[in-house]
Amino acid sequence: MRRFAIIGSRVPPSSTFHLDDLPGSGRIDVICRNIGSCLLLSHGIREDVEVIVHLLGGPGKPRRIKFTGSSITGLRADERSIAGRIRKVVVEPLPPIGAWKQVSQGMAHSGGDLRTTVEEWRRMGVGVCVLDASGEPLEDIRENHGGFGFIVGDDRAIDGIEGLGDVAMVSVGEEWLLGSACISVVHHWLDSHAGKPS
C-alpha cells in the first residue's frame, strides 16, 4: 500500500468554500491536484493508494479526509469535481480523533492533524518520508515491509516536522517541484523498481 499525507495549511477544516475560486479558498486547487496525482491513472484509479488530506487552516479543529483507491468510485480528474467532494465533507460535524466516519464510498473523515496520521502509520509499520528538496535522494530509501507514507506540502513549507519524531527527508531532485509533480515522480520510482515497497 502506498500512502500519502497531503497538507492543506490554509484550507479551513469546517467551513464551506466557493468552487469558482479554488485558489482563493486556501489553495484548495493545489490540494485537488495532489489528490489527483496520488490516485488517478490515465484510464483508472490506483487501487493500492490511500490519501489522507489534512485541513489545517483556522478556525476550528483540524480535519482529515481519507481517499481509498481500492473502493472510491466516480473520482474525476478535474479540480472542481474533487473540490466539490471535499466541500460536502467540511460541512459535516467533525468526528473524534481516530474515529473514521464514512461519507461516501472510498471517502471518510476524522479529527486529528499530521501528527495523528504519522502515529497511525507507525503503528502499522509504515516508514514515514517527508518530500523535501534538501533531503536524501529518493533512490536511497531502503525497502520497508510496511510500505511508505509520503508527506506532501501545499504551496508552503511544511510546518512542525520537528514534532513528528524520526522521519526521513526525501528529495526527488534539487529543484522545488509542484507537489503533484513530486507525487508522480514517487509513483514512477516505485513502479519501476522490482524491489519496490508493498
Pick the closest to residue 2 from 106, 99, 107, 121 (CA basis). 121
- Asked whether residue 197 carries a pLDDT value surpassing 70, the answer given is no
Number of domains in the chain: 1
What count of Cα atoms within 13 Å lies in the side-chain half-sphere of residue 52? 25
Identify the CATH number of the domain in which residue 102 sits.
3.40.1280.10
How far is residue 54's CA from residue 109's CA, in Å, rounded to a whole number? 10
- Asked whether residue 194 carries a pLDDT value surpassing 70, the answer given is no
Query: Within a domain: residue 49?
Result: yes
How far is residue 182's CA from residue 173's CA, in Å, rounded to a whole number? 9
Q: Which grid cell is 168?
A: 526521513
pLDDT of residue 143: 75
Query: Within a domain: residue 104?
Result: yes
Average pLDDT over residues 109-117: 96
Query: Within a domain: residue 101?
Result: yes
Q: Whole-model pTM above 0.85?
A: yes
Pick the closest to residue 182 from 162, 159, 142, 152 (CA basis). 152
How far is residue 15's CA from residue 127's CA, in Å, rounded to a whole number? 33
Q: Fill in the DSSP letter of residue 176.
A: -
How far is residue 156's CA from residue 135's CA, in Å, rounded to a whole number? 17
Query: Within a domain: residue 86?
Result: yes
Query: Within a domain: residue 197?
Result: no
Query: Within a domain: residue 36?
Result: yes
Diameter of the chain measured on Cα atoms: 45
- 72-81 pLDDT, tens digit per residue, is 998 998 999 9
Query: Within a domain: residue 113?
Result: yes
- 39-62 pLDDT, tens digit per residue, is 999 889 999 999 999 999 978 899
Query: Within a domain: residue 78?
Result: yes
Residue 121 phi/psi, 5-degree rounding, is -60, -45
Domain that holds residue 106: 2-191
Q: Is 120 helix (H, G, I), strand (E, B) or coil?
A: helix
% of the chain exceeding 70 in pLDDT:
97
